Structure 1
Amino acid sequence: MKNFCKILSVLFLSMAWNSSAQLLNKSWGSVTEKEEGAWFASDEAKAIAENVLLYQRNIGGWPKNIQMQKPLTEAEKKELLDLKPDTHDVTTDNGATYQEMVFLSKMYRQVPDERYKKAFLAGLDYILEAQYDNGGWPQFYPLKKGYYTHITYNDDSMVNILNVLKEIKDKTDYFSIQPNEKTIEKVKAAFDKGIDCILKTQYKQNGVLTSWCAQHDENTLEPAKARAYELPSLSGKESAKIVLLLMSIENPSSDVINAVNSAVAWFEKVKITGLREDRTVENGKIVDKKIVVDVTAKPLWARFMELEDNKPFFCDRDGVKKYSLAEIGAERRNGYAWYTNEPKEVLKSYDEWKKKLPTELSSKKKVGTKTPRDEYNMVVALDGSGDFTSIQDAINAAKAFPPQRVIINVKNGLYHEKVKIHEWNSHISIIGESRDKTIITYDDYFDKINLGRNSTFYTSTVLVEGDDFYAENITIQNTAGKVGQAIALSVNANRVLLSRCNILGNQDTLYLTGNGSKQYFKDCYIEGTTDFIFGQATVLFERCEIHNLSNSYISAASTPDNVAFGFVFKNCRLTAAQGVKEAYLGRPWRIHAKTVFIESEIGKHIKPEGWNDWDKAETHQTAYYGEYNCTGEGFQPKLRVNWSHQLKKKEAKKYTIKNILGTNSKGKQWYEQFNQ
C-alpha cells in the first residue's frame, strides 16, 4: 500500500510538472487566448494572475514581451513591487496591456476577485489616457522619444485597443468586467475618435484610397518610418486587421464603407500569385527563407510596398531598399515576417459584409426612393446623397430605348461592382466627377469564372451593349492581377465614345467588338500586358496614352475581311513600365486584322520589327499593319517586318475621323451628339 501511495504521489507530481512545463513552453499570448472555462479557476491560473498584478505599473499599463506564466522568485517579486511607480516601457505594443486585460477578464468570470476588476479598469483608464487628440495611440505611453511617438498600427497595436473599446461600448459579454456609465461614455468617444483617425490615415495613391502604413506621423498623419528596415510604406499585414475592425462596425457610415471598399480593391490589386515562401527550420528556428515559383500557391501579400506604385520591397538594418528577399542578409531575411496571408480573411468576409449593410448604404436605392428625382439626369453617390449608391441600380432605373439621352452623374468613390449597360439601355451617358477618383472596379478573371473556353468574355468589370453610349472622367479597372484573361471594359455596341477615361488591367484589358460597330476613344489612358486591346470593331484612338505593363503585344485585332478600318491610333503616345523593352504593336487574332498608327509617338520599348504574325504566315497577305509619320525611339520604319506598311501621304489621307467612324442613320457625325 505504501508503494502504491508513493507511485500515486510521483504520478501526481509528474502530471503537475508536465502541466506547468507545457504552459511554460507556450507564449503568453497563447495562454491569454485559452478558451474561457474552469481552468481560470485553477490554482495554476491564480498563480499566473498574481504575476499579472505584480507586473502592472501604477499608471495602469504593462510592459511588453513578458512571459507572465513564468514562476517568479521572491527577489523578482520584490523587484516588481519596487517598479510599480516606474512609467518606462509601459506600452500596448506586441499585445501588451491588451493581453493582460483579456486574461484578467477571464479570471474574474471564474473568480470574482476585486483585485482583478480593479487592475482591468486601471488598464482601461491607461488606454483612454494614452490616446492622442487626433484619435491615434502611440506605441509607448508616457511618450518615449523616437519613432515610438508615431500612431502605431504595427503588430495590430491600435486595432487591439479599439477592439477592447468596442466590446465595452457595445456592452457585449466578451469582457466579464464592465465600467460605470460615465467611463462607457468616454470609451464611446475614444472609439469614435480612433475610427476617425483610421479613416484620415488611409493612404491616397494618386487620389485613390488604398491601405495603411504600420505607423503614421502623429502630427501630419502621413506614413512614417520606424526601425531602419521599416520604411514608410503600405502594409499588407497591418491593413488587414484594420479592415476587419471596420467591417465589424454595425451601421457603418458611408466613409467607413468607402474605406473598406477601397482597401478590398487594393488587396485584390496587390496580391501576389504564383509564389510560395519556403522555410528551413532547425531546432525550432528559421535558418533560411526562399521565395519559389509555384502556380498552385495561395495568394500572398508583401508587408512593405512602395507608396507610389505598390511595389514590394525589403530592407536590411542599413535601411537600403531591395526588391528581392534574396538580396538581404540572412539575419533580417530569416528573422522578420516579410510576407503575410492575413488579407485572405478580409476577402473571405467581404461579400457577406456587403450583404449585411443597411439598405440605405448598400448597393440599393435610397430608402423611400423608388424612382430618381429626374429620370433623365440621375446622380450616383456612395454617401447616399444622390438617387442611388450603385451605378448598376441607376442603369436599371433608366427607360428602355429612351426618347432622349439619360445622363448618370457619378460622384467620386470606389464602386466595387460589375456594371452592364444592356442592349435596351441606349443613349446613356456616365459622367464621373473626376477621372482618377471615380472608379468602377471588379476582379473577375478566366479561372475564377470557370465557364469553359469562353470564360474570358464573362470577366468584364463594365460591359456596354447599348448603342450611343458615352462615358467621361471614369476609371474602369479589373484588379485580378496577372492571372490570365481579365477584361476591364467590353464594348459590344455601335456609336460609343469614351473621353478622358482610364482603362486599367493586365491581359485582355479592353475588348472591342460588335458587327459593324464604330467606337471612339479620346484622350484616354489604357494599360495592360498581353493583347490588351483586342476585338473586331472599327475603333479610333485619338490622343490616347497606350501603356505596356510587360513585354508582350499591345493589340490583337480580329477585323472582318470586308471592313475597311480596324484599330486606328492617331496622335497617341506609346509608353511602358520600367523594365519593359520588347513589346509589339500588334498581332492578328484573326487573319484579316487591320491596325494602323498615325502621327503617334512610339516609345523605345517597341521592338524594331514592330509586328508579329502569331505564327500565321498567311496573314502576311491578309492582314494590314501600317504606320504613318510617327516619332519616337521605337519608330524604326526601315527595320519593320517586310509585310507591314509605311503609308504614303496620299494613303494616310483616307484615315479621317469621318471615314473611320462614319455617320448615323441621318447622315450626321454621330460622335458630335455627346455633351463633351
Structure 2
Amino acid sequence: MPKTRILEVQHWPAAGTIMRLKLYVLILLITCGDSFASYFHRASNELQITEDAYGNWLRKMGSLNHSVFEEAKNQFTPCKKIKVHKNPRLGDYTTVRKAINAIPIINNCRVIISVSAGTYKEKIEIPATMAYVSLEGAGAGETIIQWNDTAEEKGPNGQPLGTYASATFAVNAPYFIAKDITFKNKAPAPPSGALGKQAAALRISADTAAFIGCRFIGAQDTLYDHKGRHYFRDCYIQGSVDFIFGDGLSLYENCHLRAKTKSYGALTAQKRESMLEETGFSFVNCKVTGSGALYLGRAWGSFSRVVFAYTYMDKIITPRGWYNWGDKNREMTVFYAQFKCSGPGANFGGRVSWSRELTQQEAKPFISLSFIDGREWLANL
C-alpha cells in the first residue's frame, strides 16, 4: 500500500485521524495478511506526522501570507466610466454587451459600467485580458441580466453547450467587481434526476473577483464558482441542486442562500481534487432557508472543502448534512465542518461521522478575509 493513502488524511482533526487511521490499517492487516505487516510500524509512526501536518496547516492558513496565488494588486480609481440605459438619450449604450465591447480588449485600468434599472436579456462573456471591470446596477431588484441556456442546448458548433457555457454571465478576467445587480438564468427548474438541465446564472473563472449586494437566480448549478479567489458579501443566491459549485477559494459573508426544490437538493458541490489545492468555500454569518430537503454539500471533488460558521440554518437541512457523491473513499479526505451555527437545521448531533464541529482555533483560518488574501485586493470595497 503506498504511503500517500496514509498522508491523504492530513486535514482531519487529530482525534478523528487516530481512530479512523488505526481502523484502516487494521482492516488492511486482516485482508492482506503478513505481506502487509511491514507497513504497520510505519503507519503508527506517521500518525504523529499527520497530527503535526494538520497543526502546521492551521498555522499557515491563519497567517497573512499563506496563499500559493501571486500577490494581488488591485486598482480602484477609474480611468473610464460608461453608462448603460434603455433610453439611448440617457446613456452611452443601450446594452451591457455594447458597453463591454467598448473597453479595450487588453485593459489595464479600472472601468466602471453603470447599468440603469431594467431587464437586459443578454448572454455575456468577459475575455481573460479585460481586467479591472466594474459592473454597478441600480439595485439588485432593479437591474437584471438574464438568459435561459442549459447544458443540453446546442452551441454554434452544433454540440451541447455543457454547464461551463450555459452561464448567462461569464467572467474570465481578474479584478472583476459587481455591485447591486442580478444575474439570472430563466431556464425552468428541472425534475429530480433530469440530465442536461444545468443552467448557470454566473460563471467566475478568474482570480480576485468581488460581488457586493448581488443576486444569483437559477435552479440547478446557479453559481459556478469555477476557480480563483472570490468574495461574496450581502448576496442572495437561489437554486435547487449544487447551486454553488466549482473549485474556487471563496468567502461568502452575510449572504442569503435559498433552496427552491420540492425534493432533495444540495447547496454546494466543491471540487477540490488534491490536498495540495488551496481551495474551498467558507460561509460566514450567512442564512440558509427555502423548501425541500437540502444537503449542505456534496463531495464533487475527492478533497472537497466547505465550512459554515455563525450561519443560521432552517429546518430544510437534512440531519446528515453532507453527501459523499456515492463514493465512500471521499469520506476519508473531504473537509466538511460547522462552527457556532444556529437554527433548527444546525444541530450537529445527526451529522455524518466524517464531518466535524470546529474549535475556535480550527475555525480561525476560515472566518476572515485572510482566507482569500482579501487584505491584498479588497481594501477599498
The TM-score bracket by the shorter chain reads 0.7 to 0.9
Match of 1:563 among 277, 282, 298: 277
In structure 2, the partner of 1:573 is 287
Taking the aligned partners of 1:608 and 1:438, their CA distance within structure 2 comes to 37
Question: In the alignment, does 2:310 pair up with 1:596?
Answer: no
Q: Over residues 388-410 of structure 1, what are the superposed CA-to-partner deviations in whole Å (9 max), with x where a residue is unaligned?
A: 01101111111244342100000
Question: How much has 1:377 moved relative to structure 2?
Answer: 0.3
Taking the aligned partners of 1:625 and 1:571, their CA distance within structure 2 comes to 17
Question: In the alignment, does 2:100 pair up with 1:402?
Answer: no
In structure 1, the partner of 2:188 is 481
- AA in 1 matched with 2:235: C
- AA in 1 matched with 2:120: Y
Taking the aligned partners of 1:603 and 1:441, their CA distance within structure 2 comes to 29
Find the residue that maps to 1:527 and give its secondary structure. strand
Contact kept? 2:309, 2:367, Cα under 8 Å: no
In structure 2, the partner of 1:329 is none
- AA in 2 matched with 1:410: V
Contact kept? 1:597, 1:630, Cα under 8 Å: yes
Question: In the alignment, does 2:129 pair up with 1:424?
Answer: yes
Q: Over residues 335-385 of structure 1, what are the superposed CA-to-partner deviations in whole Å (9 max), with x where a residue is unaligned?
A: xxxxxxxxxxxxxxxxxxxxxxxxxxxxxxxxxxxxxxx971000011112
Question: In the alignment, does 2:150 pair up with 1:445?
Answer: yes
Question: In the alignment, does 2:201 pair up with 1:497?
Answer: no
- In structure 2, the gaps of 5 or more residues are 1-77, 191-196
Match of 2:366 among 642, 652, 655: 655
Find the residue that maps to 2:94 and give its secondary structure. coil
In structure 1, the partner of 2:44 is none
Taking the aligned partners of 2:240 and 2:352, their CA distance within structure 1 comes to 22
Question: In the alignment, does 2:265 pair up with 1:552?
Answer: yes
Within a 5 Å distance, the mapping from 1:299-338 to structure 2 comes to none
In structure 2, the partner of 1:380 is 84
- AA in 2 matched with 1:378: I
Contact kept? 1:449, 1:458, Cα under 8 Å: no
Taking the aligned partners of 1:425 and 1:394, their CA distance within structure 2 comes to 13
Taking the aligned partners of 2:223 and 2:177, their CA distance within structure 1 comes to 16
Taking the aligned partners of 2:373 and 2:342, their CA distance within structure 1 comes to 28
In structure 1, the partner of 2:253 is 542
Question: How much has 1:645 moved relative to structure 2?
Answer: 1.0
Taking the aligned partners of 2:209 and 2:79, their CA distance within structure 1 comes to 21
Question: How much has 1:655 moved relative to structure 2?
Answer: 1.7
Match of 1:605 among 311, 316, 322: 316
Contact kept? 2:282, 2:367, Cα under 8 Å: no
Q: Identify if the C-alpha distance between structure 1 residues 648 and 422 changes in structure 2 by more than 3 Å, giving closer, same or farther.
A: same
- AA in 2 matched with 1:653: K
Within a 5 Å distance, the mapping from 1:608-619 to structure 2 comes to 608-619=319-330
Question: In the alignment, does 2:177 pair up with 1:464?
Answer: no
Taking the aligned partners of 2:139 and 2:160, their CA distance within structure 1 comes to 37
- AA in 1 matched with 2:199: A
Residue-pair matches, total: 292
Taking the aligned partners of 1:454 and 1:383, their CA distance within structure 2 comes to 33
Contact kept? 1:408, 1:430, Cα under 8 Å: yes
Contact kept? 1:658, 1:669, Cα under 8 Å: no
Taking the aligned partners of 2:295 and 2:367, their CA distance within structure 1 comes to 25
Question: How much has 1:425 moved relative to structure 2?
Answer: 1.2
Match of 1:584 among 287, 295, 298: 295
- AA in 1 matched with 2:308: F
Contact kept? 1:375, 1:398, Cα under 8 Å: no
Find the residue that maps to 1:638 and give its secondary structure. helix
Taking the aligned partners of 1:644 and 1:518, their CA distance within structure 2 comes to 24
Question: How much has 1:590 moved relative to structure 2?
Answer: 1.3
Taking the aligned partners of 1:447 and 1:573, their CA distance within structure 2 comes to 32
Question: In the alignment, does 2:128 pair up with 1:415?
Answer: no
In structure 2, the partner of 1:455 is 162
Question: In the alignment, does 2:211 pair up with 1:507?
Answer: no
Contact kept? 1:449, 1:459, Cα under 8 Å: no
In structure 2, the partner of 1:640 is 351
Question: How much has 1:436 moved relative to structure 2?
Answer: 0.4
Q: Identify if the C-alpha distance between structure 1 residues 533 and 547 changes in structure 2 by more than 3 Å, giving closer, same or farther.
A: same
Find the residue that maps to 1:449 and give its secondary structure. coil
Question: How much has 1:565 moved relative to structure 2?
Answer: 4.1
Taking the aligned partners of 1:608 and 1:638, their CA distance within structure 2 comes to 8
Question: How much has 1:659 moved relative to structure 2?
Answer: 2.7
Question: How much has 1:487 moved relative to structure 2?
Answer: 0.6
Q: Identify if the C-alpha distance between structure 1 residues 468 and 643 changes in structure 2 by more than 3 Å, giving closer, same or farther.
A: same
- More helix, by proportion: 1
Taking the aligned partners of 1:499 and 1:409, their CA distance within structure 2 comes to 14
Within a 5 Å distance, the mapping from 1:259-298 to structure 2 comes to none
Taking the aligned partners of 2:213 and 2:93, their CA distance within structure 1 comes to 24
Contact kept? 2:105, 2:127, Cα under 8 Å: no
Taking the aligned partners of 2:151 and 2:344, their CA distance within structure 1 comes to 35
Q: Identify if the C-alpha distance between structure 1 residues 625 and 452 changes in structure 2 by more than 3 Å, giving closer, same or farther.
A: farther
Question: How much has 1:564 moved relative to structure 2?
Answer: 3.6
Q: Identify if the C-alpha distance between structure 1 residues 547 and 507 changes in structure 2 by more than 3 Å, giving closer, same or farther.
A: same
Taking the aligned partners of 1:631 and 1:375, their CA distance within structure 2 comes to 45
Taking the aligned partners of 2:154 and 2:257, their CA distance within structure 1 comes to 27
Taking the aligned partners of 2:159 and 2:305, their CA distance within structure 1 comes to 29
Find the residue that maps to 2:129 and give its secondary structure. coil
In structure 2, the partner of 1:177 is none
- AA in 2 matched with 1:469: F
Find the residue that maps to 1:618 and give its secondary structure. helix
After superposition, the CA RMSD in angstroms is 1.6
Taking the aligned partners of 1:583 and 1:650, their CA distance within structure 2 comes to 28
In structure 1, the partner of 2:335 is 624
Q: Over residues 289-310 of structure 1, what are the superposed CA-to-partner deviations in whole Å (9 max), with x where a residue is unaligned?
A: xxxxxxxxxxxxxxxxxxxxxx
Taking the aligned partners of 2:169 and 2:135, their CA distance within structure 1 comes to 12
Contact kept? 2:152, 2:161, Cα under 8 Å: no
Contact kept? 1:477, 1:505, Cα under 8 Å: yes
